[in-house]
Structure 1
Amino acid sequence: MLSGATQEEGAPASSGFKSYDLYIAGKDVAGDGWVYTVSGRALLEDVFTAVTLKRQLEQDPDSDAANHPYVVGRCAIAADSDIDLASQAAAAAASAWAAVPLERRMTLGTRFREELIKNEDKFLEMLVAESHPVKLARWELSCLLQIYSPGSLRWYQKQMWVEKEYGGRRLILHRQPDGVVAFNPPQNAPLPSAALAVLALMAGNAVVVRAPRSIALSTMWLLRDIVGPILDEMGAPPGVLNAVCSNPKQTMDRWVADPAINDIFYIGGSQEGLRFEQQCVANGKKPILELAGNDGIVVWKDADIPYAAQAITESFYGSGQICMVPNYVLVHPDVAEELIAEVKEQVKTVRPGFPEEEDVLLSPVRRSERFFRLLDQALENGAELVTGGHRTEVDGTVSDTGVFLQPTVVRIEGLNGARTFDVVREETFFPLIPVLVAERVEDDDELLETFLQFLNTNDYGLRNSLWSRSDQVIETFVRRLVNGGLLKVNDSHIGFLPYLPSHGGTGRTGGAFGEANYPMLKTSHVQGISIAHDVSPYEAVFGS
């Protein structure tokens, strides 16, 4: 059901309420029950009432509770047969869509960007309803606008088709779509992750997207109200885009077993994702993995300390529950005290609050047991608490029952043995970052080598950052840092830029096939072509 469409009997009359059926083969299809979304503010104001409303409505959709102002929308739930039907619809549409010329398909990216800009307010509203602070929602929108910027689109298109002339032949290297690509967005950022499906569509694939059952509304809005109408406008075959709201294991198991599915774009935790990679390969699927990150920031002795501290505080955005935020800092001992003092000062600007408040950067953290286990282990092993370490209420008051966590910084002396700390070795996914102060050595070249080795031996490899004014140090990192999909130098760690890869990494971040990820290229494959004119096959093999 489209927003603005006539609502069925029993649905709330509020104009802001959104109701979405499953979207399969170009049609709205009834599901097997509903999941409801209550506003992010409601979950902070009165969590008991909000959760009770959600449960009540999911048991009885015709209840008067549907008219409560806390309730902002609902999405239909897919049964097994619906998941299979969506895959079949995509397979039926894939060939016709792949036959559409690349130039025509590329206009989808341009139109998508235009619609995102046109619907900015609704985009922000959707994410705020799902507890994203509005300031971070604007960042998420800016990331998509870079991914679909005119410069990025031109770059993608150039990678999809290259021609050369050689010896009376027309040589072509182009990329063909893989077929049907299934997308599994994560719960922490479903809308911007689902938006990557547009890149797979531009490559010529048909797609199926699973909207996370626990937080489905923004994903269904994006695909049904933004992407779907653009595809209709372009005359795309029904079934080229399909969206279902379903449980992850239920859906993954069916996708892996379904011969209609070619690629599965999996975004989630590393442990589960690496097991899933093995299942995909065993069943002839291409796994495209976006898993955990454990990103490092290096602060050299000549760094711009205030700017470096700004980049470090990005680790607390969204309460650290963003895979591409910094996870640890390596600092030159000459500037360690100055950096730590600056970070401690800047942390004061990162505060909790209701998601619609403009200066809020922290998100609620409902389950925080692991945060305290990581922090306690670090302190017991000799780390020093610099700031933070407590739960807080929405107004920042320290409280044992608060649903926010303070931005927390710990100091660890020396790199030798630093990876015995879980907070250093693993992605924390909390507002918790260790600053590792390197041992003093007489030779900075030796210390630089130590930093590079530390970064290159990280089990993960999403992004890395360097802060230095030295051309020699920068060039050494550019040449020698092999781990990760992206290196940012003297820049925002989490910011997106045109041309550069938007996602992707190595090791436990990207799996056995991990590298920088351009989703349009990852969901396609290279094909080489030679078109000859008046060329003797015999002479081509043996020469004239």
Structure 2
Amino acid sequence: MVDGQDKPLYSYKLYIAGKDVDGEGWVYTVSSRSLLEDVFTSVSLKRALEQNDHDEEAAAHPYVVGRCAVAGDSGIDLATESAAAAAAAWAAVPLERRMRVGSRFREELARREEELIGLLVAEGHPVKLARWELSCLTQVYSEESLDWYRQRMHTEFRHGGRRLIVRRQPDGVVAFNPPQNAPAPSAALSVLALMAGNAVVVRAPRSIALSTMFVVRELIAPLLVEAGAPPGVLNAVCSNPGQTVNRWLESPLIHDIFYIGGSQEGLRLQEKCVARGKKPILELAGNDGIIVWKDADVVKAAEAICESFYGSGQICMVPNYVVVHPEAAEALIAEVAAQAAAVRPGYPEDEEVLLSPVRRSERFFALLRQALDLGGELVTGGRRIELDGTPSDTGVFLEPTVVRVNGLTGARQYDIVREETFFPLLPIVVPEPETDDELLDSLIDFVNANQYGLRNSLWSRSSSVVDAFVQRVVNGGLLKVNDSHIGFLPYLPSHGGTGLTGGVFGEANYPMLKTSHIQGVSIAHDVSPRDAVFGS
């Protein structure tokens, strides 16, 4: 509630050392629906409030959802110092007590699910996409997953009169830099770092801060109070990305920087972190592939392929290219085209809507033009569209677009095949005819040669084909077979990948383990040191 207003309004100051702290001004959130209904009024309201946050009439407008205080250098540094001051005391708390924060977070997420979905929708996430995002977090914090993390964090053995312990110790202070496309679900990963025994600082992106601050302030912070955590274990600031990351890099108090964003920026950050003795934890771009064999269930495979259009493709883990066996190509392409045609734009609260507005669509058309110039065939889509799906030169949505690429050999000449596009733009590659044995080798080589490495999928009923992929595909952090490409599952690594997805240290990982390090302990009883030297 903003002072003097009758209308409830989400309002978050900086959260530092367990207290709400004033910032240096405010950023306001207006509903994404309002930007589609009346962009001039929405932008004017936002600008007026950020220039004069005492404008009570503007704050009471139904388009206005909430506000977040903005941190300057002093606020960013204070959050870091508060985390550093609390880190040692929190690390000393027993693992089991810290683990309960994860269980409680899952419970609170379920209890306040609709409220959080409402904020995500207000920020522009189609409600169907928002529900998927929260379902992913439910798996990350499922009891099965938490039990698995716990086993990795502390395991004991008996050997030759010794108690041997393999355990993971917290890194110290972990700084989280969530992306603009999904900041709140990404900020929720900070609970994993907290369970590992770290203190954390979360940056809420200025352009889309509200849901992130809600997750930190409303869901996580009360659980830490409940667990008896010292103030300062959790801190959150809304701030500029470059300013914040640079201060984190220069601070000797920050140990890990958890960065989610583009590959070029992330790899540059990796170099700076290593030069300063910090651990870079990178979740960068993905260029995920789906391979469809000749015996695949075409309808279900097409369902997984059309996950490419969730949020207009502006998600790193959606499928980015498809390679289909020539014998299944015509049936698959027809089915994908039919399902893609049913994907539509609309207001984000509509349960049937999957598409989000796309900014800077010039790049989309440049990529499409290059693909067609190289010989690609437009199957469906390729136009701007309005809210109701009508083609328009000024539409803020893009049609789900499918391009057929003939030939595997030169497929990576196409930027839409080689790179992550972040658009609803999907190439389907049809290889040259080969024997099945030769084609299987070619497809596995093609997947393994991808510069990126987030997820890969296979659709086939053949046990020998499935076995070949399972045994020989080494690229990527996750391999899904005859399943949703984007769905999360318990036990399996939730994040990370190889190549341009995870940097030079890239691998599939659990963020709880990635923000900690292994320590071996031997506690001997009645052992001769002289004998022990020789392994007795």
Bin the TM-score by the shorter chain. over 0.9
Candidates 351, 357, 363, aligned match of 2:356: 363
Where structure 1 has 5 or more consecutive residues not aligned to the other structure, the ranges are 1-5
Deviation per residue, 1:135-169 (Å, 9 max, x gap): 11111111000100010000000000111111111
Q: Give distance in 1, aligned partners of 2:6 and 2:373.
A: 56
Report the Cα offset of residue 90 of structure 1. 0.3
The AA in structure 2 aligned to 1:141 is L
Q: Describe how 1:23-42 pairs up with structure 2 within 5 A.
A: 23-42=15-34
Residue 127 (structure 2) pairs with residue 134 (structure 1): yes
1:234 matched to which residue of 2? 227
SS of the aligned residue for 1:238 comes to coil
Q: Indicate the residue corresponding to 2:472 in structure 1.
A: 480
Structure 1 equivalent of residue 322 of structure 2: 329
Instruction: Give the deviation of 1:49 after TM superposition.
Output: 1.2
2-structure distance, mates of 1:475, 1:177: 38
For residue 69 of structure 1, report the CA deviation from its aligned partner. Answer: 0.7
What secondary structure sits across from 1:214 in the alignment?
Answer: helix
Amino acid paired to 2:156: E
Distance 2:282 2:127 in 1: 28
Code of the residue aligned with 1:115 in structure 2: it is E
Alignment of 1:262-277 (within 5 A): 262-277=255-270
Cα offset, 1:340, TM superposition: 0.2
Q: For 2:509 and 2:523, how far apart are their aligned partners in 1? A: 31
In structure 2, the residue matched to 1:455 is 447
Alignment pair present for 1:426 and 2:419: yes
SS at the partner of 2:479? strand
In structure 1, the residue corresponding to 2:157 is in which secondary structure? Answer: strand
Separation of aligned partners in 1, 2:336 and 2:437: 26
Cα deviation for residue 349 of structure 1 reads: 2.0
Q: Deviations 1:469-500 (Å, cap 9, x if unpaired)?
A: 11111111111000000000000000000000
Aligned to 2:192, the other structure's residue is in SS state helix
Question: 1:230: Cα distance to partner?
Answer: 0.9
Does residue 1:217 correspond to 2:210, yes or no?
yes
CA offsets, 1:360-384, max 9 Å, x none?
0000112201000000000011000
Rounded to whole Å, the distance in 2 between the matches of 1:306 and 1:217 is 39
Check 1:67–1:420 CA distance in 2 against 1; reply closer, same or farther (3 A cut): same
Alpha-carbon distance in structure 2 between the residues aligned to 1:194 and 1:540: 47
User: For the residues of structure 1 that align with 2:534 and 2:324, how far apart are their CA atoms?
Assistant: 61
1:543, CA displacement in angstroms? Answer: 6.7
1:40 and 1:214 map into 2 onto residues whose CA distance is 12
- TM (norm. structure 2) is 0.99
Matched ranges for 1:271-420 at <5 A:
271-420=264-413
1:8 pairs with 2:3: yes
Question: Residues 163-189 of structure 1: CA distance to partner in whole angstroms, max 9, x if unpaired?
Answer: 111111111000000000000000000
Does the alignment pair 1:524 with 2:516?
yes
2:159 paired residue number = 166
Tell me whether 1:80 sits opposite 2:73 in the alignment: yes
Tell me by how many angstroms 1:62 deviates: 1.0
Match of 1:68 among 61, 70, 76: 61
Matched with 1:18 is 10
CA distance in 2, matches of 1:357, 1:371: 25
Residue 58 in 1 paired to residue 50 in 2? yes
- CA–CA separation in structure 1 for the residues paired with 2:506 and 2:482: 25
Select which of 446, 453, 472 maps to 2:438: 446
| TM-score of the aligned structures, taking structure 1 as reference length | 0.98
Q: Deviations over 1:280-302 (max 9, x none)?
A: 00011100000000000000011
Q: Name the CA distance, whole Å, in 1 between partners of 2:91 and 2:171.
A: 9
Could you tell me which residue of structure 2 aligns to residue 111 of structure 1?
A: 104
CA distance in structure 1 between the partners assigned to 2:2 and 2:344 by the alignment = 39
Partner amino acid, structure 2, of 1:331: V
2:507 corresponds to 1:515 = yes
Q: Distance in 2 between matches of 1:534 and 1:416?
A: 66
Secondary structure at the residue paired with 2:458? strand
Counterpart of 2:226, as a letter, is E
Distance 2:344 2:250 in 1: 45
Amino acid at match of 1:532: A
Q: Quick one: percent identity of the two aligned structures?
A: 73
- Aligned equivalent of 1:101, options 94, 107, 110: 94
What code does the residue aligned with 1:37 have?
Answer: T
Q: CA deviation at 1:120?
A: 1.1
The match for 1:496 is 488
The residue type equivalent to 2:461 in the other structure is R
**Aligned-pair CA distance for 1:233:** 1.1
Deviation of residue 61 (structure 1)? 0.6
Q: Counterpart amino acid of 2:28?
A: Y
Distance 1:543 1:156, change over 3 A: closer
Q: Bigger CA drift: 44-53 or 376-385?
A: 44-53
Figure out how many residues of one structure are paired with residues of the other and give that number.
535
Offset at residue 8 of structure 1 (A): 2.9
Pairwise CA distance, 1:13:
2.5
SS in 2 for 1:528: strand
